Amino acid sequence: MTVELEGCVDNIIFRNEENGYTVFELATKKSEEVLTCVGSFSYISEGEYFKLECGETRHNVYGKQYKVLSATAIEPEDAASMERYLGSGAVKGIGKALAARIVKEFGDDTFRVIEEEPERLADIKGISERMARSISENFYDKREMRNAMMFLQKYGISSALSVKIYKQYGSGLYQVLRTNPYRMAEEIKGVGFKTADEIAQRGGIRIDSEYRTRAGILYVLSEAVGQGHTYLPLEILTDTAVKTLQVPAEDIEAPLEKLKIEKKIVFRESGEKKCCYLAPYYYMELSVARMLLDLDVKYTVPKKKTDDFFEKIEEELSVELDPIQKDAVRAAAENGVMVLTGGPGTGKTTTIKAIIRFFEAEGMDILLAAPTGRAAKRMNETTGREASTIHRMLQMKGMSEDEDGSVVKGGFEKNETNPLETDIVIIDEMSMVDISLMNALLKATAQGTRLIMVGDANQLPPVGPGNVLRDIIASSKFTTVCLTKIFRQAAMSDIVVNAHKINRGEEITLDNKSKDFFFMKRDTPNDISGVVVALVRDKLPSYVKATSMDIQILTPMRKGELGVERLNKVLQNFLNPADPKKREKTYGDVIFREGDKVMQVKNNYQLEWETRNSRGFVKASGSGIFNGDCGIIKKINTFSDEIEIVFDEDKTVMYPFSLLEDLELAYSVTVHKSQGSEYPAVILPLLNGPRQLFNRNLLYTAVTRAKKCVVIVGSKNAVTDMINNEMEQKRYSGLAENLVKML
């Protein structure tokens, strides 16, 4: 049974901006009752008038409610209703007192006067001519926005997305939706091809529309960038677009050519193969190749100078440098660009220390940086020198991202016109650096500056697009020193020994006679989950002298019974269970709770942070929280709609609820997301999974994240299969080829 209600939104009790779900009180026009209503609204604000069709329901706690089945916004018709609407704050510049004066002056004619004769508002005390125009404009904008939001609701568009669309197009959105809704996929961040395609189908746009095909091509290339590619071979692009769009291959040709003419995409010949790029990535690869080659100046350093230095530094550091480590120091001294690579325990840290001491003895300035806060902190601890993230070194200021995910030009203060003031730049964990960050780094590196890149080429490639470290090594254009000897102290660690065995494709011993590498056989996901909980909560903290929050569960997958999403819910229930004293915030199907371990999953260059001393005073501040940064939720404030999170490096951030889509629980993370981090203990639940994920490269990366202890829980067969599986997802990047082709 349904009832019709008409009245004013008196009070919004709850509002989810993502899906539009709203609980509000309606002051009815006839009975003057205040009724509780629930429903989904693309747009609603206090003071608005609605005609509602509702069904009566009864909530266990809140009693009688009205579930809104349909809603129509209506204009207030009498003076009292108009005063209530204007006094609600719905129109910027008008409060209750001013609303009363305006309605007293114009009565039932108030709205017409505001729209058609706004100059008459200036007759009222306290309203200037300028303010009168502003009130009229705000009144009109409010009405237009409400009408637009109601219109967009018919297309199934969420409230948050509706606001973005209206801000982008204003009253022009009707034309966009009726003719070419695919524009939104190119012009509005957050509107992907699939959303635009769904809107287009509801609007009756033909499946073979050229607008659709064009948007589909850009979507396929953008998805490829998200998977780490900088380009796609034309045949793969065409095949994928055909499958995505369900159109014949010949329908792809004309839109491709037009996108090329518009310089949205670029083709590059590679032998008999044609490669297709989103334009920004083509020019990034060219730029990176050119700048690297320009930096690679050769220097003459007398052998006696380095020999004397080695004698001195070995005494100072109480170590004997391996011949290859000495070669690395000489290479750093003699080359403008140099790569130092090697697995765990091969002496990279000692070599970096020696390189730093050599240049310091020459009176040169040195900057140390790494892609993540954790990696930078570790670099600082191992070298005894200040190190920062690459982003901080380049000094971010008001930076954002393009629709394709690349950093907007000019976002870093350090660039080609304002370069880094240093003689040497040393970058650690280079395997994590993608093409976009490398481009920004090189733009800020002046001619004559030496660039030393340190990393393990056998680690997983970066999360972002490109394969920078591997491509630089593969090009053979730059001096590369590969450390291979495992030093005695490192050889005592089964983590190091087994990592190298895995990398060579050799079987590892899982007999639990080790002090730092363990295996626990379990055959079902539930059994594995139970062991993981017991390890992280009860067993490992005292063993590695760390907290449960410091121990990291790594898994190859996001989905599935042993994927990140399920494990995080299980671990949250045991490690940080619900408690009346702990506030919570639900977003989608995730509950964020005070005390939770969380991870940022998207670069945000605007988020401001502070670090505080023991007395609570701010000692440093800045902006930027990045993909992979982890933290702990300290407070949830439902009044200010913010979460206080302390991220790595003690960065305190007031995190708005509106950005919760960029935050995840982090008790368990994928191996990819763990790159650049090091943990006291790592737990790997391994049972079975897709071959493209369960490979040698991923297992090697996971094991090398552990500092004191690795525990594998699951199947020995899964471990053996991963070691034997050399298959890696092909990553299409052209940096190596560009380096080889350039003179």
Q: pLDDT digit string (tens) for 344-384? A: 989 999 999 999 999 999 999 999 999 988 888 889 989 99
Residue whose pair of structure tokens reads 């080359």 in the numeric block: 335
Q: Is 627 exposed, middle or buried (0-12, 13-18, 19+ CB in 10 A)?
A: middle
What percent of the chain stands above pLDDT 70? Answer: 95
CA-to-CA distance for 246 and 265, rounded, in angstroms? 22
**Structure tokens that stand for 192 in this block:** 């992907």
Beta strands per DSSP E along 687-727: 706-714
Q: Is-contact 592 660, C-beta < 8 A?
A: yes
Task: Assess contact for 427 and 451: CB atoms under 8 A.
Answer: yes
Say how far residue 121 (Cα) sits from the centre of its chain: 48
Average confidence score pLDDT of the chain:
88
Contact 686, 720 (CB under 8 A): no
Per-residue pLDDT tens digits for 141-176:
777 777 777 677 667 676 667 777 888 888 788 888
| Amino acid letter, 587 | Y
Q: Is a pLDDT exceeding 90 seen at residue 622?
A: no
pLDDT at 184: 83
3-state SS of the chain: helix, strand, coil percent to 5?
A: 40, 25, 35
Q: Would you state the pLDDT for residue 137?
A: 84
Local confidence band at 187 (pLDDT 50, 70, 90 cut-offs): confident
What does the pLDDT average to over 504-521?
A: 94
Q: DSSP letter at 568?
A: H
Token code pair at residue 425: 């730049």
Higher pLDDT, 205 or 230: 230
What pLDDT, on the 0 to 100 scale, is given for residue 403?
Answer: 40
d(CA 404, CA 212): 18
The confidence score (pLDDT) of residue 200 equals 80
Q: Mean per-residue pLDDT for 307-327? A: 91
Q: Give per-residue pLDDT as tens, 626-654.
A: 878 899 999 999 878 899 999 987 889 99
Q: pLDDT class for 430, splitting at 50, 70, 90?
A: very high
Concatenated DSSP letters of 330-347 = HHHHHBSEEEEEE-TTSS
pLDDT score recorded for residue 488: 66
Out of 102-111, 553-562, 575-584, least confident range: 102-111
- The answer to whether 713 and 689 are in contact (CB under 8 A) is no
Q: Which residues contact 149 (CB under 8 A, 6 or more apart)?
A: 42, 43, 159, 162, 163, 166
Question: Which residues, in sequence order, are CB contacts of 572 under 8 Å at separation 6+?
Answer: 591, 593, 596, 665, 667
pLDDT of 408 strictly over 60: no
Whether pLDDT at 180 is above 90:
no
Strands 337-342 and 479-483: parallel
Task: Give all strands of the β-sheet with 424-427 in edge-to-edge order.
Answer: 387-389, 366-370, 424-427, 450-455, 337-342, 479-483
Residue 73 has pLDDT above 80, yes or no: no
Q: Alpha helix locations (H) across 188-343?
A: 193-202, 210-226, 234-245, 250-261, 279-295, 303-317, 323-334
Region of 650 please: left (phi>0), alpha (psi -120 to 50) or beta: left
Q: Is the pLDDT of residue 186 over 80?
A: no
Residue 498's pLDDT is: 95
The per-residue pLDDT for range 514-551, each reduced to its tens digit, is 999 999 999 999 999 999 999 999 999 999 999 999 99
Confidence check: pLDDT of 314 > 80? yes
- Tell me the pLDDT band of 316, cut-offs 50, 70 and 90: confident
Whether residue 670 contacts residue 701, with contact meaning beta carbons closer than 8 Å, is answered with: no
Residue 644 β-bridge partners = 635, 654
Strand duo 34-40 + 21-28: pairing: antiparallel
Angstrom distance (rounded) from CA 169 to CA 187: 10
Q: What pLDDT is attached to residue 288?
A: 97
Residue 19's CB is within 10 A of a number of other CB atoms, namely 11
Cα(338)–Cα(264) distance, rounded to whole angstroms? 34
pLDDT band at residue 84 under the 50/70/90 scheme: confident
pTM for this predicted structure: 0.76
